């Protein structure tokens, strides 16, 4: 099988499975207990926090471990809510775990603004300017779009925040960027950042929220007070340690170069078929979309699966819904949206795999087009 839906999830490293098993079956102690063995586990968890801070390019702040990106995004947004005449600003291209929280705030009577996207998939800075003011409490936007791969200029957004809404917190969903694209939270000047292990070959069910200062947010679930009182519940020790193994194994810059070669070869082959359009927004090398003229994307997805090539229809969290909200927002033709599939790579695939996948995609497309014409 050739898996080209890596924006949806990635195959866990075998080393991570070994680490997970070790901490689930041997070093299985509860880090909150009073024993020396538990204290050792707690210290190891804190070492993982320090490792993540290092990878984020900072030693300021801390990391709250969660059950994944959805929980982290909810904690960042709901935890930042305060009473009073505050306003909340979101990109209209956000993942459902942000967008639906924003809509919920609207229903609660909060003042919520949605910022438009440009044709290139990036947040519109002029529209953002019009939505920021002294009342802005929180700005939340993606670093890398999970739908298009478009990369937002977080440095520029941060400058706009400093100028127009200096008291606002800046939260970014970096799920498609952390351990994939080189960046530093010090350069970005963000206050909170979301990541998820299964997007970079770690286990499902574990992620985190970087917070520059703990008093920026409040807990949204009551319990035993773990994770600095912000995320109660026994820590997922095997998941956290397996996450560490994934981080230690990955060379971000080397992987980015590898993916660049894979994507270049893939597009070189795909572009030979005039009926297939490549929607590449010059963002992340890991993500792009293909438009299969005259053939529905869902038809292509299932036909390719029969040939052991897996592609996606955009976010797995909204793949069962008709259309694609983000592609529509940036002005992609409705027929092209219906005929599109998302392709996303990982750095551990080979050129041979990518060439084979591209050839299969072209053949399957032509076979279907002949039958429906």
What is the three-class DSSP state of 15? Answer: helix
Separation CA 324–CA 371 (nearest Å)? 26
Return the structure tokens found at 132.
Answer: 């920021």
The number of helices, as runs of H, and strands, as runs of E, in the chain is: 13, 12
Strand partners, 3: 310
What b/e string do you get for 276-302 counting C-beta neighbours within 10 Å, with b at 16 or more?
Answer: bbebbbebbbbbbbbbbeebbbebbbe
> Element (H or E) spanning 65, and its range?
strand 62-66
Q: Write down the catalytic residue from 16, 25, 141, 317.
A: 317
> Element (H or E) spanning 310, and its range?
strand 309-310
Which residues have C-beta within 8 Å of that of residue 208, sequence separation ≥ 6?
52, 63, 64, 65, 66, 72, 194, 195
Which residues have C-beta within 8 Å of that of residue 103, sequence separation ≥ 6?
112
Separation CA 81–CA 110 (nearest Å)? 9
What DSSP line would sit under 86-125, residue for residue? -EEEEETT--HHHHHHHHHHHHTT-EEEEEPB-TTSSB-H
Q: Are strands 169-173 and 192-196 parallel, antiparallel or unpaired?
A: parallel
What is the three-class DSSP state of 303? Answer: helix
Catalytic annotation present for 16: no
Q: Taking the CA of residue 281 as centre, how many other CA atoms within 13 Å lie in the half-sphere pointing to its CB?
A: 29
What b/e string do you get for 195-216 counting C-beta neighbours within 10 Å, with b at 16 or more?
Answer: bbbbbbbbbebbbbbbbbeeeb
What b/e string do you get for 22-38 counting C-beta neighbours within 10 Å, with b at 16 or more?
Answer: ebeeeeebebeeeeeee
Active site residues: 317
């Amino acid at each position: 099988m050739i898996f080209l839906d890596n924006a949806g999830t990635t195959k866990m490293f075998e080393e991570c499975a070994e680490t997970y098993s070790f901490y689930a079956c041997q070093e299985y102690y509860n880090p909150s207990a009073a024993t020396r063995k538990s204290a050792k586990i707690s210290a190891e968890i804190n070492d993982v926090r320090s490792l993540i801070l290092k990878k984020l390019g900072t030693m300021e702040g801390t990391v709250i471990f969660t059950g994944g990106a959805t929980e982290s995004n909810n904690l960042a947004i709901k935890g930042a809510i305060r009473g009073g005449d505050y306003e909340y600003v979101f990109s209209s291209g956000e993942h459902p775990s942000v967008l639906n929280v924003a809509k919920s705030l609207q229903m609660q009577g909060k003042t919520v603004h949605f910022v438009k996207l440009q044709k290139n998939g990036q947040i519109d800075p002029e529209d953002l300017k019009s939505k920021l003011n002294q009342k802005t409490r929180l700005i939340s936007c993606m670093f890398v779009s999970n739908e298009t791969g478009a990369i937002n200029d977080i440095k520029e957004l941060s400058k706009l925040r400093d100028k127009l809404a200096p008291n606002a917190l800046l939260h970014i969903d970096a799920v498609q960027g952390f351990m994939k694209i080189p960046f530093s939270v010090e350069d970005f000047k963000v206050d909170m950042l979301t990541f998820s292990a299964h997007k970079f070959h770690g286990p499902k069910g574990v992620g985190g929220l970087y917070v520059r200062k703990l008093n920026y947010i409040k807990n949204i679930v009551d319990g035993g007070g773990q994770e600095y009182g912000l995320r109660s519940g026994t820590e997922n020790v095997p998941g956290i340690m397996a996450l560490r193994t994934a981080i230690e194994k990955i060379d971000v810059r080397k992987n980015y170069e590898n993916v660049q070669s894979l994507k270049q070869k893939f597009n070189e082959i795909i572009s030979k078929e005039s009926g297939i359009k490549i929607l590449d927004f010059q963002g992340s090398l890991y993500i792009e979309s293909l438009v299969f003229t005259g053939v529905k994307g869902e038809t292509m997805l299932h036909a390719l699966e029969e040939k052991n090539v897996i592609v996606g229809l955009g976010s797995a969290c909204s793949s069962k819904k008709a259309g694609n909200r983000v592609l529509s927002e940036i002005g992609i033709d409705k027929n092209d949206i219906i005929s599109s599939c998302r392709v996303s790579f990982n750095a551990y695939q080979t050129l041979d795999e990518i060439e084979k996948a591209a050839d299969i995609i072209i053949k399957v497309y032509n076979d279907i087009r002949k039958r429906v014409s």
